Structure 1
Amino acid sequence: MAQPFHPTEWPVGFDPDDPNIIMQAARVDRFGELSRPPKLHSHCTGQLVVSVLGVVGLASEHWRIALPPASAIWTPPGLAHEGFIGPNSKSLYLHISPEWSAELPNEPFRIMLTPMMLAMVRHFTQIRNPFSAQSHTGRLARVLLEEIELAPQLPLNFAPLPSNPQLFHVAEKIVEHSALGWTVAQWANSIEMSERNFSRLVVRETGMSFGQWRLRLLMLTATRRLLEGDTTETVAQALGYETPSAFIAAFKRVFGMTPGRYRTEAFVTDTYPFD
């Protein structure tokens, strides 16, 4: 099975660093070989990384974070980073000119996207030439920028991915084998570490307990399967929960809503044309 974390690759012909285009976007579902540590780069433009389906995220010098679908990370101009994506995953990258990016915070932040915001980002995947701020496209760009500004900001670290190679391998295995209900001791043993040292390492690398961190990683699989049309019962079984109600309770702890409501309020992926 292919590993779930790989750096993204731009579609042919897309220039994310064109400062003359106020706003443009790209659909990204291609990936290259993973490098550890990440091969960081930066842009003169600002970048909004939108998770549409599967494992999508962003790495910087200090963190590597996976995003649940329907959310996005803002990357200000000049911030060294590397985007990553998993097999069968989909993402959107919205690039905003340096001048307009100055209206957004100079620090990364995470937001949830409304269906209207997603539709507008998708619209800008068709833009490859400069346009004026006074044009129809320019006015649409202004509305989208204001929507990003006004969206409630969420904690950045939804699902932190560790820099420690052994723990990073654990994260990959959790995502790949979501129903694997190992104890903390078993996970520690899998990388030849004591349970105590393993638990300390998880807290140091992620800022969470192992249980909290594993739950966030499992939710990446849960949201993907829900948006692909799986029932709550099917997803609960796939993730190793004994009952659907136990899965629903865990889901609500993370997202503040039931899986059914999440599926209704998040954007629908079968209306998202990648082909």
Structure 2
Amino acid sequence: MSSALLATKWPKNAPNFNDTIPYAFATVFVQTEKAGVTVPLHSHPNGQFSIPLSGGRCGVELEDWRWVLPRYAAAWLPPGTFHNGIQDSGAELMTLYVAPQVARTFPPRPVRILLNPMTFEMIRHFTKVYGSTDRSLHAKRIAKLFIEELRHAPELPKGFAPLSNHPVLRRIAENLLTPECRNLSNEAWAARLNMTARTLSRLVSRETGLSFAKWRMHMVLLASLNDLNDGRSVESTSYNAGFETPSAYIEAFKKIFGKTPGNFRKTLLLTGEDPDWTIDYEHKDVDGSHIRLEDRGNPNCLK
């Protein structure tokens, strides 16, 4: 059986999460609480992006839901959202905090977004180099670049792969993709959990709004995004997800995302609209001062 996700533990040298002065700051969480330790939900005046980095599963716990995030994804939490980080022991969870005035330009509700590789690497670089202490103009300029990319990042479907905090559903979700549990039916899971199939079916429907079969399919497709993001072929991804044929996987994928896995992967690499360079844009620096188009790239205007 797979181990349960653990609450993220704040390091002793953690930054001041209530500091709203920096344009953006970031940190990486590598420690978890011990199994069985309950951590109260908390909130910040800053907006927050939680991003899996490496080493295992990561996600966030909200008041009614848990989100386990695939790689190259992020959970956006507006200021004031009560939450906790959750992760496997040994996993790394990268968290980016943005000032309230920046957060107002993002959705007013928690959402999950998908990151293209460039945006992911930019945030990771920013975390390593600037972290939570650098408030220089250069750090702010770098942050403005990837924050603009984050604004245009595609969202995962709102009702995709919901996971409530009910312990039964959490247990199923944490073990759903292990080899011995990958293809278990509603009836088989009910037997393992010492409950009737009808009771389990009603529980899943009440907690997620989906039938057991649809909810299970969502969770399988969620995990398959990791393989797609890692560059695996659609054929290899489909078999790893437990599908008998690639065509069955493609059909299931299209029902949820509205496009094939191949086109979905291309979307991540081509997020955002191409600018029309025939327009004479007026650019502004981070302090609000104007930069003439012909002066872009002139180091004297960046001092």
Structure 2, unaligned runs of 5 or more: 270-303
Which residue in 2 is equivalent to 1:137? 139
Alignment check: 8 A CA contact 1:178 1:221 kept = no
Equivalent position to 2:172, from 147, 153, 170: 170
Change (3 A) 1:119 1:206: same
SS at match of 1:142: helix
Larger radius of gyration, structure 1 or 2?
2
> What TM-score does the superposition give when structure 1 sets the normalisation length?
0.80
> What TM-score does the superposition give when structure 2 sets the normalisation length?
0.74
Equivalent position to 2:86, from 79, 84, 87: 84
Alignment check: 8 A CA contact 2:52 2:93 kept = yes
Write the distance in 2 (CA, Å) between the matches of 1:244 and 1:29: 36
Equivalent positions of 1:178-193 (< 5 A) are 180-193=182-195
Shift of residue 200, structure 1, vs aligned partner: 1.3
Shift of residue 179, structure 1, vs aligned partner: 6.0
Q: Which amino acid counterpart does residue 20 of structure 1 have in structure 2?
A: I
Which residue in 2 is equivalent to 1:122? 124
Write the distance in 2 (CA, Å) between the matches of 1:29 and 1:217: 25
Which residue in 2 is equivalent to 1:271? none
Which residue in 2 is equivalent to 1:19? 20
Shift of residue 11, structure 1, vs aligned partner: 5.9
Q: Which amino acid counterpart does residue 8 of structure 1 have in structure 2?
A: T
Equivalent positions of 1:233-248 (< 5 A) are 233-248=235-250
Structure 1, unaligned runs of 5 or more: 268-275
> How many percent of aligned residue pairs carry the same amino acid?
35
Change (3 A) 1:36 1:190: farther
Shift of residue 87, structure 1, vs aligned partner: 5.8
Shift of residue 16, structure 1, vs aligned partner: 5.3
Shift of residue 178, structure 1, vs aligned partner: 7.4
Change (3 A) 1:38 1:220: farther
Alignment check: 8 A CA contact 2:23 2:99 kept = yes
SS at match of 1:175: coil
Which residue in 2 is equivalent to 1:95? 97
Instruction: Note if 1:217 corresponds to 2:219.
Output: yes
SS at match of 1:171: helix
SS at match of 1:44: coil
Q: Which amino acid counterpart does residue 48 of structure 1 have in structure 2?
A: F
Equivalent position to 2:200, from 195, 198, 201: 198
Alignment check: 8 A CA contact 1:71 1:111 kept = yes
Q: Which amino acid counterpart does residue 3 of structure 2 have in structure 1?
A: Q
Write the distance in 1 (CA, Å) between the matches of 2:180 and 2:89: 15
Q: Which amino acid counterpart does residue 39 of structure 1 have in structure 2?
A: P
Greater CA drift, 72-81 or 26-35: 26-35
Q: Which amino acid counterpart does residue 172 of structure 2 have in structure 1?
A: V
Instruction: Note if 1:5 corresponds to 2:5.
Output: yes
Alignment check: 8 A CA contact 1:22 1:130 kept = no
Larger relative contact order, structure 1 or 2 (CA cutoff 8 Å, min sep 6): 1
Write the distance in 1 (CA, Å) between the matches of 2:33 and 2:207: 25
Change (3 A) 1:217 1:152: closer
Greater CA drift, 229-238 or 20-29: 229-238
> How many pairs were matched up?
265
Greater CA drift, 237-246 or 205-214: 237-246
Q: Which amino acid counterpart does residue 15 of structure 1 have in structure 2?
A: P
Q: Which amino acid counterpart does residue 26 of structure 1 have in structure 2?
A: T
SS at match of 1:214: helix
Write the distance in 2 (CA, Å) between the matches of 1:148 and 1:35: 35
Cα deviation code 1:35-70 (max 9, x no counterpart): 586631222321111245653321111211222333
Cα deviation code 1:70-91 (max 9, x no counterpart): 3222112221101112367554
Which residue in 2 is equivalent to 1:45? 46
Which residue in 2 is equivalent to 1:158? 160
Write the distance in 2 (CA, Å) between the matches of 1:11 and 1:119: 23
Alignment check: 8 A CA contact 1:16 1:45 kept = no
Instruction: Note if 1:31 corresponds to 2:35.
Output: no
Q: Which amino acid counterpart does residue 21 of structure 1 have in structure 2?
A: P
SS at match of 2:177: helix
Write the distance in 1 (CA, Å) between the matches of 2:106 and 2:50: 14
Write the distance in 1 (CA, Å) between the matches of 2:68 and 2:95: 15
